[in-house]
Chains A and B, each alone.
Chain A
Amino acid sequence: MSDTLQLTSDGRLRHLLSIEGLSKPLLTEILDTAEQFADSRNSRGKKFPLLHGKTVVNLFFEASTRTRMTFELAAKRLSADVLNLQIAASSTSKGETLLDTLKTMEAMQVDMFVIRHEASGAAHFFAQHAAPEVAILNAGDGRHAHPTQALLDMFTIRRHRPDFSQLTVAIVGDILHSRVARSDIHALRILGAKEIRVVGPRTLIPAGIEDMGVTVFNDLDSGLKGADVIMLLRLQKERMVGAFLPSTGEFHRDFGLTRARLARLSPEVLVMHPGPINRGVEIEGDVAYGERSLILEQVEHGIAVRMAVMAMILSSTGAAA
């Protein structure tokens, strides 16, 4: 489904909606392309003319700072014209539907929409209804997917541990509500990770997740045992409502990554987090910027990875010069 929608007939990226359905060669090609952009960042301020004359609209129906900023920077470094729109969900409920919003913007000759929306499937919806010359880049749809986050996570892991077949990766925290977890799981599977674990209390582990190729752990210590990479997830503070958890304190006690817990693991273990972090909830403050943490690297890589995706999509649609 997503694979036929997001790929051209000859297997190139047409949209990026989900990691699911990407081939290993294509995923690797994205990461390789991102390497070129990441390298050239050493000569600071360098711009690429690849998207010159193209218009990219960041259409965010959900609040976001870092993701929107990195998409904006990525587009600007590719010389595109960028428009940022933060639309409160309430304004769409006043009569204009998502489809109206899309069609209105399309009429302004936009080449690419970067869309974030609270509803799972929103990016698919946009892609199904977009004009043929318009590309959709999913910046997060509900609990479903956040493909560029997964790509930048893979990019970051690969720089430190190039052989995925040797990797045991533990994804810890609120798996149920996490589009990052889902996209990371798909990406790790495609790249052939040895073992993928999800770790959290039963209330935050969705039913049937094993079908995605993961092993479930309800206990942090056993879930982290032998792990090479720990991917922490942000715990939304409103999870106390609805009885998912009793308190952030108890979550931290049982599932927070503390310096003491880290000390019991291999000194080689890598710690990742998509941000923004909740200090003292899923992670102890000084672990976040400790020597094993890749959290700031992840942010930095987000730009190169998003540049790569934008460049590949707009060139495969024949839109790029």
Chain B
Amino acid sequence: MSAVLIRNARLLDPFTGRDEIGDLAFRDGVIVASTGAFDDSIDAGGQWLLPGIVDLCARTRDPGATQKGTMRSESNAAFASGITALCLPPDTKPVIDNTAVVIRVNRIAKAAGGAYVYMLGALTKGLEGDALAEISALKSAGCVGVTNGLAPVANALVARRALEYAASLGMTVHVVPLDAALANHGCAHEGAVATRLGLASIPVAAEAVAMRQWISLVEDTGARVHFGRLSSARGVELLAAARARGLPITADVAAHQLFLTDAALEGFNALAHVIPPLRSAADRAALREAVGSGLIGAICSDHQPHELDAKTHPLPLTEPGISAVETLLPLGLRLVHDGVLTPLALAERLVRGPAQVLGLPGRGLAIGAAADLCLVDPSQEWRLDAAGMNSVGRNTPFIGEAFRGRATRVWRG
């Protein structure tokens, strides 16, 4: 089946703004004109065809924590859900802070098949926050950006130098804005729910203070910063103000933040324990609005699969994170059903937005582009059940929920 014709699909190409019923063909992994002979011809019956999803943050747990997931299990779980490329943050064991690890991860990823795996390199050695990692070498080895993830950078001076150094290499610095001192090992949004349940809390200021610091340093250095996993209305305001001043700052949000609030923690539900935490309904509304307007240009999964044991403790002692690649597109489709996004805008947030953040040469559905494709049935009704998940991690608060729409076929060029 090296040559395939997909007929009668709603073609959604966020790179050109194309949204029309039509045919698309590919041969040997490259999109070609839809004329001539094909090995296989698929009648899409009006299903949506979009370029494969690019997930800005998905942990495969491999190398280092393969009881939670392997490259094979997670990249294939992602792929089956419409994600043809994912971006792995450097907090593997060992940390992705040198070329040897990059080469190793590339080898594992290639053997695993599934989604293509891009990597963010560590901003500092060992993610310890003190000394710069060899960012130039990481870039040469193929890293598409650098980050310290949730690990704090020692101080503003190190942060400023890291931005200067990365900027001189043209590398985007990905920042998960969460001030470690203010977060103070909390496990829930500061508010009435955490107070009633007696959970150590993380104020919105933990995000706002971190963003303000990084924005100030961007003003100084002109470095390109991408804020990952925004969680609050104040974070959205700071992003809007920075963008209005023309600063080279982009942002994403994890899909679960657009649907859940801290109310999901009721009953000490450890499956809703994520960092940054699920916040208030007002925060959720602001995030949805920012996704709708495009201020937040990308939606990611923030996939963090866990083994059962990691969540089998009293909530504060559980490991944070949601197994999320399999709900990224379905939750995105909910945004379309809810009227937050048009189908084309959803493709924009799931494909073009993240591809631009990573500087990928995405060319969408154009002839000559790689045939990274995702066929979506937007109306198929299904229910997420644990046994049916492809990820090793079944840790998701969406278990048992009904969804409308999912990926039906996925191809990687």
Residues of chain A touching chain B, judged by Cβ–Cβ distance below 8 Å, are 1-2, 5, 20, 97-99, 117, 119-122, 124-125, 129, 141-145, 179, 182, 206-212
- Distance (Å) between the CB of A146 and the closest chain B CB? 10
- The answer to whether A121 and B192 touch across the interface, beta carbons within 8 angstroms, is no
- Distance (Å) between the CB of B310 and the closest chain A CB? 11
Q: Which of B341-386 contact A (CB under 8 A)?
A: none
Q: Which of B152-191 contact A (CB under 8 A)?
A: 190-191
> Within the complex, which residue of A2, A122, A145, A212 is in contact with B314, where a contact is CB–CB below 8 Å?
A122
Q: A119-B317, A207-B203, A208-B191 are in contact. Are A99 and B312 (CB under 8 A)?
A: yes
> Within the complex, which residue of A98, A144, A209, A210 is in contact with B197, where a contact is CB–CB below 8 Å?
A144
> Within the complex, which residue of B195, B200, B201 is in contact with A211, where a contact is CB–CB below 8 Å?
B195
Chain B residues near A125 (CB-CB < 8 A): 268, 313-315
> Within the complex, which residue of A97, A122, A141, A208 is in contact with B312, where a contact is CB–CB below 8 Å?
A97
Q: Once bound together, how far apart are the Cα atoms of A144 and B195, in whole Å?
A: 8
Q: Once bound together, how far apart are the Cα atoms of A3 and B309, in whole Å?
A: 26
Chain B residues near A98 (CB-CB < 8 A): 313-314, 317
Q: Once bound together, how far apart are the Cα atoms of A121 and B315, in whole Å?
A: 6
| Chain B residue with the shortest CB-CB distance to A1 | B267
- The answer to whether A207 and B195 touch across the interface, beta carbons within 8 angstroms, is yes
Q: A119-B316, A122-B314, A124-B268 are in contact. Are A182 and B196 (CB under 8 A)?
A: yes
> Which 9 interchain pairs have the tightest Cβ spacing?
A1-B267, A143-B198, A144-B198, A208-B192, A121-B268, A211-B192, A119-B314, A120-B198, A206-B195
Chain B residues near A124 (CB-CB < 8 A): 267-268, 314
Q: B220 at the A/B interface (Cβ < 8 Å)?
A: no
Chain A residues near B199 (CB-CB < 8 A): 120-121, 142-144
- Distance (Å) between the CB of A8 and the closest chain B CB? 17
Residues of chain B touching chain A, judged by Cβ–Cβ distance below 8 Å, are 190-201, 203, 266-268, 309, 312-317
Q: Once bound together, how far apart are the Cα atoms of A97 and B314, in whole Å?
A: 10
How many A-B pairs with Cβ below 8 Å? 84
> Within the complex, which residue of A20, A119, A121, A208 is in contact with B195, where a contact is CB–CB below 8 Å?
A208
- The answer to whether A121 and B314 touch across the interface, beta carbons within 8 angstroms, is yes
- Distance (Å) between the CB of B316 and the closest chain A CB? 5
> Within the complex, which residue of B191, B193, B198 is in contact with A141, where a contact is CB–CB below 8 Å?
B198
> Within the complex, which residue of A97, A129, A182, A207 is in contact with B190, where a contact is CB–CB below 8 Å?
A207
Task: Provide a sorted-by-A list of 21 A–B residue pairs whose CB atoms are within 8 angstroms.
Answer: A97-B309, A97-B312, A97-B313, A99-B313, A117-B314, A119-B317, A120-B316, A121-B314, A124-B268, A124-B314, A125-B268, A143-B198, A143-B200, A144-B199, A179-B198, A182-B196, A207-B192, A207-B194, A208-B192, A208-B193, A209-B195
- Distance (Å) between the CB of B198 and the closest chain A CB? 3
Chain A residues near B316 (CB-CB < 8 A): 119-121, 142
- Distance (Å) between the CB of B320 and the closest chain A CB? 14
- Distance (Å) between the CB of A110 and the closest chain B CB? 19
- Distance (Å) between the CB of A117 and the closest chain B CB? 7
Q: Once bound together, how far apart are the Cα atoms of A207 and B191, in whole Å?
A: 5
Q: A120-B199, A121-B199, A121-B316 are in contact. List 5 more A-B contacts (CB 8 A).
A: A99-B313, A129-B312, A142-B314, A207-B190, A208-B192
Chain A residues near B267 (CB-CB < 8 A): 1-2, 5, 124
Q: Once bound together, how far apart are the Cα atoms of A145 and B312, in whole Å?
A: 20
> Within the complex, which residue of B190, B191, B197, B203 is in contact with A120, where a contact is CB–CB below 8 Å?
B197
| Chain B residue with the shortest CB-CB distance to A208 | B192
- Distance (Å) between the CB of A116 and the closest chain B CB? 12
Q: Once bound together, how far apart are the Cα atoms of A313 and B217, in whole Å?
A: 60
| Chain A residue with the shortest CB-CB distance to B269 | A1
Q: Once bound together, how far apart are the Cα atoms of A35 and B61, in whole Å?
A: 57
- The answer to whether B266 and A1 touch across the interface, beta carbons within 8 angstroms, is yes
Chain A residues near B266 (CB-CB < 8 A): 1
Chain A residues near B197 (CB-CB < 8 A): 120-121, 144
Q: Once bound together, how far apart are the Cα atoms of A45 and B258, in whole Å?
A: 61
- The answer to whether B198 and A142 touch across the interface, beta carbons within 8 angstroms, is yes
